[in-house]
């Protein structure tokens, strides 16, 4: 077996998206059944949690509250080639969640990603559409306090730009 193929299979085993076949190398089949592979997967998962909990605070908190964290993180690990540099992990995670099936998760992820970019010097302006009132949601997530009631439905936008006094502005309509 070529080294590159061997490495790809090992990486796929770690990501949980490869099931060894009978004609695979004996080493690959042995690794697939090993306790060490399970331990490596757990360590990677815990490291991602550690990094993302500190860098994607709003989105991470929302995922936790909605019991979507493990599912979102597992999907992210299995589908993306994640850089070992933690500075790139948060933007990649937020980008992946920007199209999440839960509209609130997607909106929070897009907002947090835009704010992250602007804080790092991006001169662009971003508009994030929300279908619920963002202020109580963001306040609840930022302070890590329960949301008193379901946010009011409606058409809202958040503008994110370094030219704004607090780098973002919520607009109704």
* pLDDT for residue 100: 96
Instruction: Assess if residue 3 is contained within a domain.
Output: no
**Whether 118 contacts 160, CB under 8 Å:** yes
What is the per-residue pLDDT across 58-94, written as a single tens digit (0 to 9) for each? 999 999 999 999 999 888 877 777 776 778 889 999 9
Identify the pLDDT of residue 118: 96
Q: What is the pLDDT of residue 150?
A: 85
Assess if residue 22 is contained within a domain: no
- Residue 28: inside a domain, yes or no? no
How many other CB atoms are found less than 10 A from the CB of residue 39?
10
* Among 169, 142, 137, residue whose Cα is nearest residue 153: 137
Average pLDDT over residues 101-128: 96
Domain presence at residue 23: no
Q: For residue 129, is it within any domain?
A: yes
Number of domains in the chain: 1
- Domain of residue 113 covers 34-172
**Mean pLDDT over residues 2-30, rounded?**
85
Structural domain includes residue 95:
yes
- Domain for residue 57, yes or no? yes
pLDDT given at position 85: 72
Give 19-44 pLDDT, tens digit per residue.
888 888 889 889 889 999 899 888 88
- Inter-residue contact 99 to 113 (CB < 8 Å): no
Q: Residue 126: inside a domain, yes or no?
A: yes
């Amino acid at each position: 077996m070529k080294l590159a193929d061997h490495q790809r299979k090992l990486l796929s085993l770690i990501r949980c998206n490869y099931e060894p076949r009978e004609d695979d190398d004996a080493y690959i089949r042995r690794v697939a059944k090993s306790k060490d592979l399970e331990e490596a997967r757990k360590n990677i998962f815990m490291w991602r949690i550690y990094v993302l909990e500190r860098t994607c605070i709003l989105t991470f908190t929302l995922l936790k509250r909605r019991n979507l964290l493990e599912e979102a993180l597992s999907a992210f690990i299995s589908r993306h080639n994640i850089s070992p540099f933690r500075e790139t992990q948060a933007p990649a995670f937020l980008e992946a969640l920007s199209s999440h099936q839960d509209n609130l998760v997607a909106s929070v992820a897009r907002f947090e990603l835009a704010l992250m970019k602007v804080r790092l010097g991006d001169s662009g302006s971003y508009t994030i559409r929300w279908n619920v009132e963002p202020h109580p949601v963001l306040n609840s997530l930022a302070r890590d306090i329960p949301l008193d009631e379901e946010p009011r439905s409606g058409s809202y936008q958040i503008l994110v730009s370094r030219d704004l006094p607090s780098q973002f502005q919520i607009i109704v309509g």
